[in-house]
Structure 1
């Protein structure tokens, strides 16, 4: 793209804003290189990158690149046999951590219906090695210190250093505190010179304190002497420090060797992190300006819907609707100064450059933009003092260059074409330039004050007038762009509004050519008709919105009524089930008591108690089955069509007062009938009965219900898992518990045996996760003890 045009359209400012969203230096560097390109497929791919980043940030929040550095230099140094510094190793670990966390961020919660194809492919190629990270973080505390635990040898050496320092301090402190020594010292303190402990001895007493002189004061009055008594101890300490340094070097070399082994992946990671930081910077900027991905083409078709120039305050800007390149290749915009013509022109050019650079644009969905070989813009005051060129000459110099370079796939923008010279000659030049571009079908947008260009647009095919609206009442522009309507002159109206005399205005009108006045009158009529049509359109839109609201209200009321009916039915079923559950719990307690009594009874009483318990269980099962049958019928028949017919014996009917279904056993008279509902027989008024379904459909429903009952009735109250491994046992338990819960059992036994306890503990962990289990416990003495787990359902 032409650098001059990018500067005029302020494309560089957009790039600076995108750069502020990049988090790494290498990411910022790539953003600074963003440029508009003309290849449509490549532009579409860049737009998809931005779209994926936009969506991912909205879904998961901003990814973090904090701590990522360019560590390729460290890796190269290590690969050549060098040792990476402590700080360098930390940067390597931090960058590996960022890469791993970024990969996790991208791949977290991936779903088939929400695939980020481009970014996912980057993530798949990110290299991670948690072990290397942990090794470095374990060994290094900060950019200047290696941890004591980095190796057993280092820990031992440092422990000996601490011990030796303590011994030296104790020894030298005893000398300082000695009365015999104090009189030779300048101060009663211990200091360090050349990394060795010394005493500040007065120079005249040098011979009285035997030792090695390491330094002296600036005046020479004090000598820093290492006493003979601690020389050997200091030597040992120095040796330990040398050992410490060597051990640290060995540790750093080992860690550097790890980095050297992954030099290639580190280089690849740097490229991927650069690309991802660049992509997420584009996505972050798109979110900040509420941008969308435009539809793209390479045919020169541009249509901006509610476009907002990204460098103008979003709270004050008026959205622009403008199009060119499809029905017409040239758009000529007229209107007053400060009315928004230049902003519209810049919006057209800047949006085109942003789209071709893979950036989203701040507009509404339905915005269409095109790729071009080049974008040319002649906008603003180009007066050159250095070349002694007037404004007109400077503009014409730029226009000549554009006309020499432009191709059939260029986009040309002219601001105030032909201005700065004689109006007649300027208008003629402007029409000639536009006509040359029109003949070549080059997409062009131009602003002007010349009335001749308005007429040119009206009389030539492929050219369209446009204007920026101006309010006579407020004497200010509305900044709305009107396509298809030329801008009218407001000079007389504005002058009259601010108080210029009618006689002066009338004289001015008389001086204008009649055809010019007639043309302005036509424009006034067009503008008046446009405003009337606009008002009618608003009325139609309001009526449409009101109709949609009424429709939504009606649908909402219907939905609420249906939900209310469903709720009443569900509550009735819930209450019935609740009553049954209460009865089942009570009978379970009775059965437990009978079991306890059974232990103390003789054979005859025990037999009778057993029969009583068995009868109670059978009765409970019958009640549960009856309710289950009715629930099956309810579920299957909810959507059945109810048919009002004459009821006869054997018909399948709905009892409306009870919302239950059953069979007619006998019609007692013209008003009542005996109906079998589950296990219950009851008399019901005929007016409360409604015949439902055909006999054939009824039989099919009964078969389905019976099949489900047969499956659940076959469930035993216990399952033997002995001899199975944990994995096999858990598979059997999962199916068994589902069947037991569906069959209505309150309590079951899992027989696993005692053994080593592995099976028992594994089953215990599994039961904690099973949603229908209320509680579980180890069996009592008479239930099997540790070899059995008793499970109760909710």
Structure 2
């Protein structure tokens, strides 16, 4: 990247975005890649980067972020190990930490293995090595200490060192606690000098304690003597310590050789993990910015919806809509100072560069951005003291470079074009610069205060005005970009609101040319029309939203009602099936009792038997008639009923004709079709003549088609059949029952030897339409029947 390109990126503050990205990374390698990130110029490459970030964004939302905290650059130690070098304990522990991190990343991906993403190739290239990881951690405790169990030899040597040290200390402990030696010692303690156990002896009694002097105190009052009694034990400890060091060196050499043999796979895995770290850092930054995936093109078309500058406080930033390169190639933005013109330019350029780096951008769904070969910006005060250039000269120098580089694949952003010189000359020069850049095919966004450029944008096809909205009533900018509306300077209005004398403002207005005044009046009227249309549009949007909510609510309520109705139908069907089965069982029982009574025809039937039979019949009638009486709504009948009146049975919701009325008028006999029944007057509604005529007309207009179909029986009698015949008939019977939506059926096989019952039940156990089955209960036929519930 050349210095001039860096200058343009710096003007658009891309370096600040990359610094935020760096802070989201967890590894040094990913942080370095984030700092060196450059926008790409190829559409397919940019789309690939953005899709990778979007896939990482989706995985983070479902499973959280993978941990890359233990990922370090261990390439140099591994290369040294592969060349035969010996690594220290710290280097080996860092390698083990990297292996643990790689394994954690791989395990994290395995939790979401069912989701295919563009990151799978990188995840699949990560090679874990739990063997080497556990071997290093099992051998090394810290960067300074080797574990005892690193090898059997090391464990044995350290046991011997502890034993020899114990013997030496025991001898010295006896000495320091001996009354004879205590008067020669400075303190009754055992200490070490140069790895050997010694005792502190007073200098004047040096000759009283035989041994080797290893050190003395700074005052010279104390000498540290190794008594001859422990010299041999100390010698043994020193020899064992040397053996310990040799064994540790051997273990380190062995571990280093093992690590070196896996150097290539670990280094490559680290590289892929670092790339994943950077991608997930991009996703994390996008999550914090509430960013989304834009649609990319290479046609120079930008359509940003609710775009937000990512470096402005989210609580203060104002979202705005920006278009460029669709129906116009040049956008001239005007408006008062501090109104947000420069922020709009930076937003266009920065979001373009972010997308080209594979970063999600803070816009709403459906936004579009384009890939450009160059993003060229002249923004801010470019005055150079070293080059002795004025502000105007510095801007012109930069613009000249831009004009030399710009082409049909360039995005050019110019802030305060033509400012810093004579207004007439500046406006003319600005217009000429825009014309030249347009001829070179560039997409241009420029800010200005010149009215001449507003008129140029109004008169020139392909050039569009834009303005940053300003509320004169509050003297505050709204920071909204209005496409198609030239901005007003508002200098007179602002001055008047700030308290300037009216005479001064009026005098200034008279000094302005009539042409300029007329132009400002036109702009003012356009502004008023725009505000009115926006208010109407907002009202229509609110009405549309309310209508949409009402429609959704109605559809939801309709779906709930249909679901509840279906549930009620299923429940009623199931209850009806159970009712039929129960009634059938009771009728079978009564029939058996009648058969018994017939057999006893020569015997006297007792009154108790008759009463029981009548009670069972009444109970069966009540059970077989589940319809509950419903109270008629609407009060009493309008008049007493007469024979021949047409009425409606409330509980059955059927029309009927009055045949007979009781003397008290509380009960009537009605005929519904071929059925006559006695009912209470409260269960009837009188049908008026108008309703009868309406029903008659409806019957004459209705064309009906009747289809006769025999209802599937709910009972099958297999008695007298062989097992094979019975199984075939059971299959046919269950198919008919399933098509008729029966939930329960009865299969009669008789008691007998039980062979037929066993064959039927074995078949029901494997039948796909049968949920469960059982023998009949008392009143249902007991073991002579099987009751089957269907799915």
Q: In 2, are the aligned partners of 1:66 and 1:98 still within 8 Å (CA)?
A: yes
Determine helix, strand or coil for the equivalent of 1:372: coil
Q: In 1, are the aligned partners of 2:57 and 2:283 still within 8 Å (CA)?
A: yes
1:98-113 superposed matches below 5 A: 98-111=101-114
Q: Say whether residues 1:326 and 2:340 are aligned partners.
A: no
Shift in Å at residue 488 of structure 1?
2.3
1:479-628 superposed matches below 5 A: 479-568=479-568
Q: In 1, are the aligned partners of 2:468 and 2:478 still within 8 Å (CA)?
A: yes
Which residue in 2 is equivalent to 1:70?
A: 73
Q: In 2, are the aligned partners of 1:303 and 1:369 still within 8 Å (CA)?
A: yes
Equivalents in 2 of 1:714, 1:33: separation in Å? 81
Shift in Å at residue 441 of structure 1?
2.5
Which residue in 1 is equivalent to 2:717?
A: none
Shift in Å at residue 130 of structure 1?
1.4
Structure 1 range deviating more: 29-38 or 72-81: 72-81
Unpaired runs of 5+ in structure 1? 583-655, 658-667, 674-689, 719-734, 747-794
84, 87, 107: which one aligns with 2:87: 84
Which residue in 1 is equivalent to 2:15?
A: 12
Which residue in 2 is equivalent to 1:213?
A: 213
Equivalents in 1 of 2:261, 2:177: separation in Å? 57
Instruction: Encode CA deviations 1:350-406: one digit per residue, 9 max, x unaligned.
Output: 111111111111011111111111111111111112222211111111111211222
Which residue in 1 is equivalent to 2:723?
A: none
Determine helix, strand or coil for the equivalent of 1:300: coil
Shift in Å at residue 579 of structure 1?
12
Distance 1:233 1:468, change over 3 A: same
Equivalents in 1 of 2:258, 2:579: separation in Å? 69
Which residue in 1 is equivalent to 2:51?
A: 48
Determine helix, strand or coil for the equivalent of 1:477: strand
Q: In 2, are the aligned partners of 1:18 and 1:281 still within 8 Å (CA)?
A: yes
Equivalents in 1 of 2:499, 2:226: separation in Å? 102
Which residue in 2 is equivalent to 1:246?
A: 246
Equivalents in 2 of 1:145, 1:224: separation in Å? 28
Shift in Å at residue 8 of structure 1?
0.9
Equivalents in 1 of 2:17, 2:489: separation in Å? 36
Q: In 1, are the aligned partners of 2:286 and 2:292 still within 8 Å (CA)?
A: yes
Structure 1 range deviating more: 228-237 or 250-259: 250-259
Equivalents in 1 of 2:278, 2:54: separation in Å? 13
Which residue in 2 is equivalent to 1:60?
A: 63
Equivalents in 2 of 1:713, 1:487: separation in Å? 94
Which residue in 1 is equivalent to 2:116?
A: 115
Shift in Å at residue 672 of structure 1?
5.4
Which residue in 2 is equivalent to 1:599?
A: none
Shift in Å at residue 530 of structure 1?
1.0
Instruction: Encode CA deviations 1:277-332: one digit per residue, 9 max, x unaligned.
Output: 11111111011101111111111111111100000011111111111112111000
Q: In 2, are the aligned partners of 1:715 and 1:740 still within 8 Å (CA)?
A: no
Structure 1 range deviating more: 73-82 or 202-211: 202-211
Which residue in 2 is equivalent to 1:703?
A: 735
Shift in Å at residue 566 of structure 1?
4.2
Distance 1:574 1:229, change over 3 A: farther
Q: In 1, are the aligned partners of 2:102 and 2:270 still within 8 Å (CA)?
A: no
Instruction: Encode CA deviations 1:603-633: one digit per residue, 9 max, x unaligned.
Output: xxxxxxxxxxxxxxxxxxxxxxxxxxxxxxx
Equivalents in 2 of 1:148, 1:214: separation in Å? 30
Equivalents in 2 of 1:575, 1:190: separation in Å? 95
Determine helix, strand or coil for the equivalent of 1:306: strand
Equivalents in 2 of 1:184, 1:716: separation in Å? 108
Which residue in 2 is equivalent to 1:26?
A: 29
Unpaired runs of 5+ in structure 2? 583-650, 653-670, 677-703, 714-731, 748-755, 776-791
Determine helix, strand or coil for the equivalent of 1:26: helix
Equivalents in 1 of 2:758, 2:45: separation in Å? 65
71, 93, 112: which one aligns with 2:96: 93
Shift in Å at residue 670 of structure 1?
4.2
Equivalents in 1 of 2:527, 2:392: separation in Å? 32
Equivalents in 2 of 1:539, 1:395: separation in Å? 45
Equivalents in 1 of 2:733, 2:543: separation in Å? 51
Determine helix, strand or coil for the equivalent of 2:461: coil
TM-score by length of 1: 0.74
Q: Say whether residues 1:392 and 2:392 are aligned partners.
A: yes
Structure 1 range deviating more: 53-62 or 76-85: 76-85
Distance 1:162 1:346, change over 3 A: same
Equivalents in 2 of 1:189, 1:578: separation in Å? 97
Distance 1:397 1:251, change over 3 A: same
Which residue in 2 is equivalent to 1:368?
A: 368
Determine helix, strand or coil for the equivalent of 1:146: coil
Shift in Å at residue 517 of structure 1?
1.7
Which residue in 2 is equivalent to 1:634?
A: none
Shift in Å at residue 575 of structure 1?
8.2
Equivalents in 2 of 1:570, 1:384: separation in Å? 86
Q: Size of the alignment, in residue pairs?
A: 629
Which residue in 2 is equivalent to 1:276?
A: 276
Instruction: Encode CA deviations 1:561-604: one digit per residue, 9 max, x unaligned.
Output: 23333444566688899999x9xxxxxxxxxxxxxxxxxxxxxx
Determine helix, strand or coil for the equivalent of 2:141: strand
Instruction: Encode CA deviations 1:765-784: one digit per residue, 9 max, x unaligned.
Output: xxxxxxxxxxxxxxxxxxxx
Determine helix, strand or coil for the equivalent of 1:145: coil
Q: In 1, are the aligned partners of 2:336 and 2:488 still within 8 Å (CA)?
A: no
Distance 1:237 1:537, change over 3 A: same
Which residue in 2 is equivalent to 1:727?
A: none
Determine helix, strand or coil for the equivalent of 2:24: coil
